[in-house]
């Protein structure tokens, strides 16, 4: 009996559910035309969401690519050095250093020779200053070769400046300015008025000027990082003079006396030359005028006294 009741209850539920579905179908058919517009709006919204998501993913991909490129890029370092080396013959060492630079794919930018007087006038002190530029990869080997070419290294200074960050920033700014230039060119093609075209052309000229500045700075950094600069001073060994002893003091005192006497003579000569125009243009005319006045005054006194004597006689 229980089984029969359970079967009847299940059948009743099936019938009721079927009736409910049939009742809902007409309502769904009636509401279908109204839901199509909503479905289109929803689809458009989904498409826009997908586009945003795609744009976001692209930007993230570009950012990751930029980060990877910045990590993979070779570091840009400006390396320079200053060397002061004592050599037996600066002129011969100058040729030797020029050969060293050329053998390492470098070159000499400037070369200057100077002479300085010493106590021994027959052997003046000679110094040579050179500016050498060599590839950055050959920097250490060239410095070592220059050190080996001299007798003693008096001074050595090396400097390094990392400009990698500035170099990457310049590349990014140039890329942005190029994209802006392309946009302005497209806008100029669509410009319908002369005023609009002129305004766009002004903006385009400013962008191109900025691109030239950035590219110039980039080329400068590339040149400085690819070629290292080495300043070399070649000089003869410094003579150490024994500054003790009686005869050395006598010799120094005699030399000082000669220097003082020469200075006094030169001072008198310069004073005479400086006062000569004053004597010629001022003192001499005044003396002549005074002499003439005195003569006339004496003649007048002589004539007066003669007249008085004749009158008295």
Residue pLDDT, tens place only, 96-152: 999 999 999 999 999 998 887 665 555 678 889 999 999 999 999 999 999 998 888
**Whole-number pLDDT of residue 312:** 66
Taking only the tens place, the pLDDT of each residue in 232-251 is 999 988 765 555 567 777 78
Which whole number is the average pLDDT over 58-69? 46
Residues 6+ apart with CB under 8 A from 221: 76, 78, 163, 166, 167, 170
**What gap in Å lies between CA 137 and CA 142, rounded to an integer?**
10
**Whole-number pLDDT of residue 5:** 45
**Whole-number pLDDT of residue 224:** 92
Contact 78, 222 (CB under 8 A): no
DSSP three-state, residue 251: helix
Q: Note the pTM of the prediction, 2 decimals.
A: 0.53
**Whole-number pLDDT of residue 118:** 62
């Amino acid at each position: 009996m229980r089984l029969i009741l359970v079967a009847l209850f299940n059948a009743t539920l099936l019938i009721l559910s079927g009736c409910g579905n049939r009742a809902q179908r007409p309502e769904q058919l009636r509401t279908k035309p109204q839901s199509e517009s909503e479905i289109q709006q929803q689809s458009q919204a989904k498409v826009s969401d997908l586009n945003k998501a795609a744009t976001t993913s692209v930007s993230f991909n570009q950012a990751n690519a930029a980060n990877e490129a910045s990590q993979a890029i070779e570091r840009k370092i400006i390396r320079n050095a200053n060397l002061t080396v004592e050599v037996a013959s600066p002129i011969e060492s100058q040729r030797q250093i020029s050969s060293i630079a050329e053998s390492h794919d470098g070159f000499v930018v400037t070369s200057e020779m100077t002479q300085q007087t010493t106590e021994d006038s027959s052997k003046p002190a000679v110094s040579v200053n050179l500016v050498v530029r060599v590839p950055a990869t050959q920097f250490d080997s060239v410095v070592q070769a220059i050190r080996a070419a001299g007798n003693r290294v008096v001074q050595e200074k090396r400097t390094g400046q990392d400009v990698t960050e500035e170099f990457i920033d310049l590349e990014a700014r140039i890329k942005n300015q190029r994209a802006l230039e392309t946009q302005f060119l497209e806008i100029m093609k669509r410009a319908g008025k002369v005023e609009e075209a002129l305004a766009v052309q002004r903006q385009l000229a400013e962008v191109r000027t900025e691109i030239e500045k950035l590219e110039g700075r980039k080329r400068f950094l590339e040149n400085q990082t690819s070629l290292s600069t080495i300043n070399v001073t070649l000089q003869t060994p410094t003579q150490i003079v024994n500054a003790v002893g009686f005869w050395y003091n006598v010799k120094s005192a005699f030399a000082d006396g000669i220097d003082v006497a020469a200075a006094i003579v030169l001072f008198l000569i310069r004073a005479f030359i400086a006062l000569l125009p004053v004597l010629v243009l001022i003192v001499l005319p005044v003396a002549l005028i005074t002499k003439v006045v005195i003569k006339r005054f004496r003649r007048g006194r002589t004539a007066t006294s003669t007249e008085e004597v004749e009158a008295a006689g």
